[in-house]
Amino acid sequence: MTGSKSRCLNSISQVLLTLLILRCLQCHSRPHSYNSKPLSEISKEIFKYSDIAQRIINLAVYGKAQNRSYERLAEFTDTVGNRVSGSKNLDLAIKYMYNALTRDGLENVHLEQVKIPHWVRGEESAVMLLPRNHTLAILGLGSSVGTPPGGIEAEVMVVESFEELKKRASEAKGKIVVYNQPFVSYGETVAYRASGASEAAKVGAVASLIRSVTPFSINSPHTGWQWYQPGVPQIPTACITVEDAQMMARMARRGQRIVMRLTMGAQTLPDVDSYNNVAEITGSKHPEQVVLLSGHLDSWDVGQGAMDDGGGVAISWEALSLIRDLGLRPKRTLRTVLWSAEEPGGVGAAQYFQQHKANISNFDLVMESDLGTFSPLGLQFTGSDKARAIMKEVMKLLAPINVTSLEEHGEGTDINMWMKAGVPGASLHTADQRYFWFHHSDGDTMSVQNPEELNLCSAVWAVVAYVVADLEEMLPR
């Protein structure tokens, strides 16, 4: 009886000990707290940052840091150039940024390894043979297969929509399908770039050419990634200019027969090792909790990648520099991540999420700039109603530069998975009417960037990141 009682007490003790350990582990992994104070108290707390916000703005826009982000970006893009996923230039860019962030005196500068796609464009050309001789400007689309060595010579079929393609499916076999879809919006029209090849292959086409996804063109093709659908034959695909797509549509309406020779040396090589660049300002009170700022380091293999997404990279670096220069250290860690391989579909960011999602409760806010660094208008935000109310108060601190708007729906390929998992997310919204003029084209160069606009974007990025990271409590989920 005594032995049984002793074993029972031991079992109970073991259970209690186990529960205590689990409780301790939960407490250790749980964030300090999500914001539970009344909004009126939080508003007063945020208002106290007015002086600090003004100091950041003064330094970025009027002070010693004026034009610094522009000069850094210009030196980077002029030195490295474009940097497509898997390329030697992207490797050079990663090393360049690692050294630059280290020299800048930021903390915990390091690289986190990822595997990324390696697609190579190769030599490519498109020549109209009938009804007249004409050489087209083309850019193969990412992940496209190449043509046979001698190219493809075939008649052209012009359509303006997927619906028209389906209606005329019996005409498509053995032809090169040319999409002359009108530009409605990037979000809607990009479906032709992403899926045009597979839709054409389903009806027997031998190749597809997609009118560039842009509202404005000076005979400039715009590239981008495309995805082959499983179980569908893979055919070569490239983008052509708006002008050539419209010309061939006019020819087709006149009943003229169009014949073209397409040659593409594109190929997909094995995935390669790459890295996400990381730099921080370590939090003073809750270093395990993180406000993340980001842009993507890779670009397309045309232009300089100065706008997409050199600008996002520059302000995500500059925000930390501004805060460091002012001797500020927020309660939580500010972490800048420069993503690898965003253009093939957020590959580097997806792996980062898998590597860090165990600590998801410690991510306070994720921020991404990937729609240009033109004159800032505000932020787009995804989060709970209370988090939105708090962010509106934070944005009031930017009244001196008239950037107070907080809009719906934070955007960004690299932060979407965090937002879907419940982490508040913000993206920079700028006067981006010209963004898709230059997007994924040879026009994406430093000439698109404006130093004054980069100063303002840097100030917005730094003020928001610092204040959120320094509040007593995390943003509510």
Catalytic residues: 342
Give the H/E segment covering residue 132.
Answer: none
What is the C-alpha separation between 151 and 295, in angstroms, rounded? 38
Which of 372, 381, 367 lies closest to 430 in space, CA to CA? 372
Report CA-CA distances (Å) from 236 to 91, 144, 356, 477: 28, 6, 37, 45
Vertex 443: Cα angle to 339 and 235 (nearest 5)? 75
Of 453, 434, 459, 454, nearest in space to 444 by CA = 434
Outline where 58-126 has alpha helix (H).
Answer: 68-80, 88-103
Q: How many other β-carbons are positioned within 10 Å of the β-carbon of residue 443?
A: 22
Give the C-alpha separation, 265 to 123, whole Å.
5
What kind and span of H or E run contains 77? helix 68-80
In the three-class reduction of DSSP (H, G, I as helix; E, B as strand; rest coil), residue 455 is classed as: helix
Q: CA nearest 159: which of 192, 194, 198? A: 192
